[in-house]
Chain A
Amino acid sequence: MLLLLPLAIPFLGAGLLLTFGNPLRATRAALFLGVLEIASVAAVIWQVHEHGELREGPYLRVDGLSSFFLLVIAFISGLVLVYASGYLRHMGEGRFSSPRWFYALVFLFLFTMVSVCLAANLGFLWIMMEATTLASALLVGFYNTEGAVEAGWKYLIVCTVGIAFALFGTIVLYLAAVKAGMSPNDALDWASLMNVASRAGFDPHLLKLAFVFVLVGYGTKIGFVPMHSWLPDAHAEAPTPISALLSAVLLNCAMYALMRYDAIVSRSAGPAFSHSLLLTFGALSMAVAGLLILVQRNLKRLMAYSSIEHMGMIAIGLGLGGPLGVLGALLHTFNHSVAKSLLFFGAGNVRQNAGTLRMEAIRGISRTMPQTSAALILGGLAIVGLPPFGLFVSEFAILSAAFTQARYFVAIVFLIVLSVVFGGFAYHLSHMLTGEPSPGHEHSTLIPSEWLAMGLAALCSLLFGVRIPHLFDVVLREAMRVLR
């Protein structure tokens, strides 16, 4: 019964929010619903911590891994909702672009992402992954400008095709399970599959074929190169709170789905195949994204490519395996989400103040927007992996795993890309921070919702670089145990 709450609240709330005509009331209702949702997710996580795992019918299930990702989703959505409540003052009043539509779509989007984490059945997981694409497409194209419509169309088409390939992979896995003697209803249930994975005679060819298609399919949603073409456009043209949600939450959800499949395939067909594929895609994504960061001209596209790079890092951590690799990967999902949200919030403020996202036109923001530039500096230092921020810890864990397993090539690529990205960010950020601000840029300070969101994010990033809070550590270790 408890499991239905995190699903019902955003779903019904989305419908409810459409009835609010007044933007202020809609914002307040949205914030209230957000608090409710975070509370229900916290309750679910606490129950899982007490009892191990929760089930509700054949399709919903929460274990350690799901609760970890639910924690990430809840925290980041909270930050985004707080930021969005202030950001919407910039938004116009169109027929479909009013705040109530924005919040309704955001909660629908949240509903789909929470469902992904609560899915017990791989078919249901697929349906909800496709639903995330559908729920967020209108959000990407929210501004209805030329760029937004193009980005939304590309996002919809590329992700739907990718997810269709993932469906094919799911079908092949189902086929392998049915052939090995599982009943049709169990053949898509993740827990049952994990139980019989090492014992039953799954045809290794079919499993490998399934994993390839699932990797390509869900990898499109994650943003692996070469399926990443939608990502920079979508993250750059969407409204800033949505960009943060996409980068920090949606990519993680897709990675979660991939982790589930990797667990099954590596258990029954051996880890060599799936992990080597993950390492390849991860290294490729890091390298290409890192190089493209150097030539970016749009601030939010720069952040989007950085997201691709970090997803590559998580894939490498997952592909390396072992306790250090998995710990690094899971921790990195959280750290990256926090730092990336901070960066996007700062970028949103820059956009509203300077009127453009073209980095060559933005100068001297350290004088016109001192608080935002502080946030950008902190976020930039965090995202390139410098201590004392959290990303340093997770990246260090992944690198240690690489060296422990004597995978020197991967480690070298990792380090080179880190250096290149550091140089790129330093160049772009310093260009924006220094110099004479162009005439017409007034001094601006942050409104409460903005500094609350950005402050929390910065604090979190710093905190996790020094010491992981105990509660978080508990959830993390339970997640790792699921994947063992």
Chain B
Amino acid sequence: MDLIGIASGKVLSSFSVFLFLTVLLLAVARRISTSILLFSLQSAVITAEVLATAFQEKLPEAYIVGALVLVIKVILIPRAFFSLTKRLRTVRDVKASTTPAQSVFAVAAIIYLSYAAVHSYGQAVHVPDDALAAAVSLILTGAFLMLSRKKALMQMLGLLVLENGIFLAALITTFGMPLVIEIGIFFDILIGLLLMGIFTFRINDTFEHLDVSKLRRLRG
């Protein structure tokens, strides 16, 4: 049992490193399938974090939330994305508007900005800087992915990374919100993804491509 205690302690103190790695790798990923796998890995790290927090803080509700994250974000959503990519028969390229080097520089700047931003709040809330900076950088990277990737599927993925960051911020600062609210949030995300999936099919049908940068008919 003590081994689990040590392991959870280690997870809590070092998980932010792995999240930064996934964020950097997402910046350089060139294929949609790679990005989906990275999102799955990221969610797995977050699941470990939830379970470690549940063990350390003795919160039984958090185990349920951890199981939800595992089932929904690590398994279900990536599988849905993969089947969506197959059915849409799109080109596998991520179609970034920035080169990988520029993306990595942007993400490096984002990580630095996150640390600068949480520095003043970290003391107020008594949480380690690393974890909160990881959450903020997930949020900012999600926004960056949505802005710089021109494929509709990548915009959905950026949104999911953003939600991951917000969920992590909630987890770190408040050890999770009441269970019913968390379940409601998950439900919302699932329905939202379902609708976005429906819309990507419609975009593909009407426009014959999935490049959202070409959706510029409505302007002004």
Contacts and interface: CB of A to CB of B under 8 A. Distances in A.
Direct contact of A and B (CB under 8 A): yes
Interface of A: 121, 123-124, 126-127, 130-131, 133-134, 137-138, 141, 144-147, 149-154, 156-157, 160-161, 164, 167-168, 171-172, 174-175, 178-179, 184-185, 188, 203, 205-206, 209, 232-233, 236-237, 292, 295-297, 301
A357 B157 CA distance: 35
Contact of B199 (A131, A141, A188, A206): A141
B1 interface: no
Q: Do most interface residues of chain A lie in helix, strand or loop, or is the interface mixed?
A: helix
A301 B121 CA distance: 42
Contact of A164 (B163, B196, B212, B215): B163
Contact of A175 (B173, B185, B195, B203): B173
Contacts of B206: 144-146, 149
A450 to B, nearest CB: 27
A171 B169 contact: yes
Interface stretch (B16-24, B35-43, B68-76, B176-184): B176-184
B220 A150 contact: no
A147 B217 contact: yes
B110 to A, nearest CB: 16
B207 interface: yes
Identify whether the interface residues of B are mostly helix, strand, loop, or mixed: helix
A209 B121 CA distance: 10
Interface in B182-214: 184-185, 187-188, 191-192, 195-196, 198-199, 202-203, 206-207, 212
A144 B202 contact: yes
Contacts of B139: 168
B155 interface: yes
Interface of B: 121, 124-125, 139, 143, 146, 152, 155, 159, 162-163, 166, 169-170, 173-174, 177-178, 180-181, 184-185, 187-188, 191-192, 195-196, 198-199, 202-203, 206-207, 212, 215, 217-218, 220
B199 A237 contact: no
A366 B220 CA distance: 28
Contacts of B195: 134, 137-138, 156
A418 B163 CA distance: 40
Contacts, number: 119
A142 to B, nearest CB: 11
Contacts of A146: 206-207, 217
B158 to A, nearest CB: 9
B192 A174 contact: no
B202 A149 contact: yes
B120 to A, nearest CB: 8
Contact of B192 (A130, A209, A232): A130
11 contacts: A127-B187, A133-B192, A138-B195, A141-B199, A146-B217, A161-B146, A167-B185, A168-B139, A175-B173, A203-B124, A206-B121
A157 B181 CA distance: 22
B203 A295 contact: no
Given A141-B202, A156-B196, A174 B177 contact: yes
Contacts of B152: 153
Given A141-B199, A157-B155, 13 more contacts: A123-B178, A124-B181, A127-B185, A134-B192, A134-B195, A149-B206, A150-B218, A153-B215, A154-B215, A164-B163, A168-B166, A184-B178, A232-B220
Q: Top 4 A-B pairs ranked by shortest CB distance? A: A123-B181, A127-B184, A150-B215, A130-B188
Given A153-B203, A175-B125, A237-B218, A188 B181 contact: yes
Given A123-B177, A123-B181, A296-B220, A206 B124 contact: yes
A292 B159 CA distance: 30
A148 B195 CA distance: 15
Contact of A295 (B124, B159, B220): B220
Nearest to A297: B220
A355 B207 CA distance: 23
